Structure 1
Amino acid sequence: MSTDGAGVLERILTEDEAAILDAWNTALREGASLQGGRIREAELRTQAKAVLGQLRDALASNSLDADGEGFAPLRETLADISRSRAIQGFTPTDTANFVFSLKEPIFEALRRSADVDASTLAAGVWAAGKVLDRLGLHTMEVFLASREEVIGRQGQEIAELSTPVVRLWDGILALPLIGTLDSARTGVVMENLLQAIVDEEAEIAIIDITGVPTVDTLVAQHLLKTVAAARLMGADCIVSGIRPQIAQTMVHLGVELNVVSKATLADAFAVALKRTGRKVVRQQAPAEERR
């Protein structure tokens, strides 16, 4: 039955290709993908024409195995479309409907064919459903994998951007932390800090946790790992930004950082300047500048 169904489907796509393509484009044009403004109509029509042509060519092998070699070019085209739509912000439904919306135009073409009896119609409908369902699943698999890759890459970029190392003075660095510290983010923090210590030949690194909502035993362990790594690179660390609430929590939990800590970044910077033999002196402006 699969061979007969493939032949019926190929013949319908060949004889009624223009009508099927027009109906499919109409369905796509009325869908959410085009109305959302994320893709131009001309691009959508080009994609539909390419997919329909490759589907017809794949069915020439009299096979309905959408995972077979004959469907490889079509799968690759659909994979490219899925990856681009994942980047463009399409929803899974929009992406899947690109393939599934082809069903109705094909079914209508089969029904319109004058020389199609009941058994032939059933074979064509069954063949179209089997092939398009599998191709639709393939499209979704690629789309979800691509979106996970995009999300992972964006998460890594956000983590890197959220841990900037600032040069406050010659040999003095500051690392302001915002948000919760976990194992993955600690790795990024440590890597950025150590690289900055090497690049700037820093003597002191100030880790400011003003933007860290809570400090528990796990967060303290991550901080201590960062401090220990910085010390191995020859830089002392100062922790700043410990608010009264965080100090009380740490005392109740019995957490000890075993590192110099200050309430504010300004206080920590003053300690760093003193350790490096520097001090900030207010200089009175000349009389002519004060007028």
Structure 2
Amino acid sequence: MAQDRSDRLLDLLTDGQDEFVERWIRTVTSSLAGRLTPAEVQQDLTGLYQALLAAVRHGGTATRSEEYGEVRSLLSEMSRNRARQGFTPTETAINLFALKEVLEPAIAGTGDMTPYLQFSRMLDDLGLHTIEVHAKAREEIIAGQAEQLLELSTPVVKLWDGIVAVPLVGTLDSARTQVVMEKLLQSLLDQNATHAIVDITGVPSVDTQVAQHLLKTVVAARMMGAECTISGIRPQIAQTIVALGIEFGDITTKATLADALRHALHSIDRTAAAAGIGGVA
């Protein structure tokens, strides 16, 4: 009985293939409000319909079977593309579910709803797969964008020969501290720098956790042989640090980035004078 129903479904899908695909493309293109061209939609749906036919022919409506491997693969690719193009999970699932709307009139005329119910359940199952892949793709995209923003928000700039600076803006957390360390240490190596300035003018507040992150960054720079200065210590920040009892020890702190640069230049001059060579002009 089940095989007979699958055969009827297959016959229906095969006999009306060209008409179904054409109407499916029109329905999906209309639902996307021009965000994809008919040619782009046709490229996705034509191959998907062919894969569905082959899967029903060899595997019936058991969507978890190996016969549906190509269908799931095509749906996964389409879902990832839609996620990158900015479509919502609902808009992506409609690409598949619109086929129900296309098939309903044809099946209603036969007086037998069994093939339609079979196909509807099959599309529901495949629709869940589509939504899951889309959600995962969106998570990957968001994570990648967050990482890129983190990289952009922690630049290391060369201020002078031998002097680099990290102007921090916003909150300093563990993840960002790690990025700051990595970029600063690599810059010290690439620039052969002996002085590093960590400027916190753009950091809205300093608490115990932020202070610990700053100290870790300074210690990491010192291990590379660089003298490290923290600049941007505004009056409010200074009062907060004192109130919290935070100790920066022997770490040099300055009110402004200009003060920190001046300190670093003088330090280079002293080092050069001690070595008997010319200092900073």
In 2, Cα distance between the equivalents of 1:198 and 1:164? 15
How many Å apart are 1:67 and its aligned residue? Answer: 2.0
In 2, Cα distance between the equivalents of 1:5 and 1:207? 72
Give, as a single letter, the amino acid of the residue that structure 2 aligns with 1:154.
Q
- Asked if 1:133 corresponds to 2:130, the answer is no
In 2, Cα distance between the equivalents of 1:184 and 1:272? 28
The runs of at least 4 aligned residues of structure 1 exceeding 4 Å deviation read 278-281
How many Å apart are 1:62 and its aligned residue? Answer: 4.3
Cα gap change, 1:206 to 1:62, in 2 (>3 Å): closer
- Counterpart of 2:24? 24
Cα gap change, 1:42 to 1:272, in 2 (>3 Å): same
More contact order relative to length (CA 8 Å, sep ≥ 6): 1
- Mapping for residues 4-19 of structure 1, pairs under 5 Å: 4-19=4-19
- Asked if 1:182 corresponds to 2:177, the answer is no
Q: CA offsets per residue over residues 192-238 of structure 1, 9 Å max, x none? A: 00000111111110000111111111111111111111111101110
In 1, Cα distance between the equivalents of 2:33 and 2:65? 31
- Mapping for residues 44-193 of structure 1, pairs under 5 Å: 44-112=41-109, 116-118=110-112, 121=113, 123-193=114-184
- Counterpart of 1:197? 188
- Counterpart of 1:222? 213
TM, length-normalised to structure 1:
0.89
Report % sequence identity: 47
Query: Is the CA contact (8 Å cut-off) linking 1:86 and 1:143 kept in structure 2?
Result: yes
In 2, Cα distance between the equivalents of 1:5 and 1:208? 72
Q: CA offsets per residue over residues 128-186 of structure 1, 9 Å max, x none? A: 12110111111111111111111111111111111111111111001111111111111
Query: Is the CA contact (8 Å cut-off) linking 1:34 and 1:41 kept in structure 2?
Result: no
The 10-residue stretch of structure 1 (170-179 or 7-16) with the greater mean CA deviation from structure 2: 7-16
Query: Is the CA contact (8 Å cut-off) linking 1:10 and 1:59 kept in structure 2?
Result: yes
1:277 aligned counterpart, secondary structure: helix
In 1, Cα distance between the equivalents of 2:5 and 2:222? 72
RMSD of aligned C-alpha atoms?
1.7
- Counterpart of 2:245? 254
How many Å apart are 1:7 and its aligned residue? Answer: 2.2
2:201 is aligned, of 189, 193, 210, to 210
Give, as a single letter, the amino acid of the residue that structure 2 aligns with 1:10.
L
Query: Is the CA contact (8 Å cut-off) linking 2:9 and 2:115 kept in structure 1?
Result: yes
In 1, Cα distance between the equivalents of 2:146 and 2:96? 30
Query: Is the CA contact (8 Å cut-off) linking 2:59 and 2:68 kept in structure 1?
Result: no
- Asked if 1:264 corresponds to 2:256, the answer is yes
How many Å apart are 1:267 and its aligned residue? Answer: 0.5
Query: Is the CA contact (8 Å cut-off) linking 1:2 and 1:127 kept in structure 2?
Result: no
- Counterpart of 1:277? 269
